[in-house]
Structure 1
Amino acid sequence: MIARLLLGIALVFAVPAAAQDTAEPPALAVLDSAQITPEEFLWTARPIVVFADSPADPRFAEQLRFLETDATGLIARDVVIVVDTVPSPKSAWRDALRPRGFALVLIDKDGQVKLRKPAPWTVREITRSIDKWPTRQQEIRETLGKE
């Protein structure tokens, strides 16, 4: 009897541990601006566009480090990262948003620019901003209604 109880307890703890080992967390999409256009994300994703005049810009590197710290928070909000470090020739993103040097631009699913920042932002600051947008508020209400 005790052996069965111990075996049952061991199985309860072993199955979640095995599931955690095999399941990889989803990856945050980081895309090159030359390969895509803003229209591709209408009503499907929230692009965060990171501009710099060079990939060696320290603010660009810092922003990418910030974005990697909490990818799950961004993925939960349907965020894709678009990077643009080539000022010429202009990408569709650069043509539409007209950045000067480093810029962080947050765009909602409806294609509207919601926020522009001339300095890097942490994931916490970004997600708090996104959570205030009407489309995100609607998603939260729909999620709560289904549970």
Structure 2
Amino acid sequence: MKRLIPIVIAGLIASSGVAQETDVVELETLFVAADMADLSEFRWKKRPVLVFADSEDDPAYIEQLELLGQRPEALLERDVIVLTDTDPEARSPLRLKMRPRGFMLVLVGKDGGVKLRKPFPWDVREITRSIDKMPMRKREIREEKEAARER
């Protein structure tokens, strides 16, 4: 799992042409191993997207990382952090709580609640549409528009 994430990040950087230093830092913080005990550190700050698989060679897992890597700016704009776990033997606290069976995508809101679970890969467009329907995201959009008008 940990060897695949840097490859995805390197591919994103290469495909975007000349990446600025801040872009590289943001991409590195977008994809993180899901080795924390719980998601409390992200509450009210980030929207975790958890990607579970039984192996980093799982075709659905590989496809999901590729889909997420196609539009990282849309995820970063919505305060998304992607947490990955491909080691069922480690029995991580997040895996035990979410109970995936094979591949599973989980979207968690800033409030810490599970917003959706999918047993198959989802593209960024579908994920961002789900996020944009959330009340907190609607408020964020409204506040951004008001701030832009005041400028």
TM-score norm. by structure 2 comes to 0.79
**Aligned ranges for residues 32-71 of structure 1 at < 5 Å?**
32-35=33-36, 37-71=38-72
> What secondary structure is seen at the aligned counterpart in 2 of 1:110?
coil
Cα offsets for 1:24-54 (capped at 9, x unmatched): 5341521111246311110110000000011
Q: Aligned residues, how many?
A: 128
Counterpart in the other structure of 1:78? 79
In the alignment, the residues of structure 1 paired with residue 109 and residue 63 of structure 2 have an alpha-carbon distance, to the nearest angstrom, of 23
Secondary structure at 1:49's aligned position in 2?
strand
Identity %: 48
Farther off after superposition, 117-126 or 88-97: 88-97
* C-alpha contact (below 8 Å) 1:106/1:114 kept by paired residues: yes
Relative distance call for 1:93 and 1:22 in structure 2 (3 A) is closer
User: Does the 8 Å CA contact 2:38/2:94 hold for their aligned counterparts?
Assistant: yes
Distance in 2, Cα, partners of 1:73 & 1:93 = 25
Q: CA RMSD in A?
A: 1.7
Q: Which moved more, 1:27-36 or 1:100-109?
A: 27-36
Runs of 4 or more, structure 1, over 6 Å off, are: none
Tell me, what secondary structure is at the counterpart of 1:104? strand
Whether 1:30 aligns to 2:31 is: yes
How much has 1:144 moved relative to structure 2? 1.0
User: Within the alignment, does 1:87 sit opposite 2:88 as a pair?
Assistant: yes
The structure with more radius of gyration: 1
Determine the C-alpha separation between the residues in 2 that align with 1:97 and 1:64: 19
Q: Which residue of 2 aligns with 1:103?
A: 104
1:132 maps onto 2:133 in alignment = yes
Amino acid at match of 1:140: I
* Deviation per residue, 1:78-132 (Å, 9 max, x gap): 0000000011221121121111110000000000000100000011111111100
Instruction: Name the TM-score, length of structure 1 as normaliser.
Output: 0.81
The SS at the match of 1:75 is helix
Unmatched 5+ residue regions in structure 1? 1-19
Give SS of 1:55's match: coil
- Aligned mates of 1:132, 1:30 — CA distance in 2: 23
What aligned pairs does 1:8-23 form with structure 2 within 5 A after superposition? 23=20
